[in-house]
Amino acid sequence: MPKSDSASPASGVQRAHVRDPDQARLREATEVFALLSDPTRLHLLWLLAQGEADVGSLAERVAASRTAVSQHLAKLRLSGLVETRRQGRHVHYSLRDGHLRRLVMEALSHADHRVSGEAPHA
């Protein structure tokens, strides 16, 4: 039976790629997790999962300097996780794809269960 591009709806995983990971895919996933391992970057990605934003509003929301936020965003942009859109003198950042959005949301949902003590979902 051929492998499909997505898991069945009954499995609870939508649009998941089901091919066995090779070394290139494992390396790429490891690099993404390394970028997510910084609390400020993870917070920025969570904010961008809610919608696009500029450096100033992101800096205010994460309580960090514009310089620090700009450096984190540059790293995320160079890694291909976020993209930019220029509007006049402002640069707006957004997540590059839905996979990253779901990964960030699931990681923080998992953390919420661990911190709150609420039972995890099946």
Token pair belonging to 121: 């979902």
What is the tens place of the pLDDT at every residue in 28-64? 999 999 999 999 999 999 999 999 999 999 999 999 9
Q: Is 56 helix (H, G, I), strand (E, B) or coil?
A: helix
Give the pLDDT of residue 5. 42
In terms of pLDDT, which residue wins out, 3 or 14? 14
Residue 8 confidence (pLDDT) above 70: no
Segments making up each domain of the chain, as ranges: 23-108
Determine whether domain 23-108 maps to CATH 1.10.10.10: yes
Q: What are phi and psi of 63, to 5 degrees?
A: 55, 50
- The pTM assigned to this predicted structure is 0.83
Q: What is the pLDDT of residue 20?
A: 92
Single-letter code of the amino acid located at 31: E
Is residue 7 pLDDT above 50, yes or no?
no
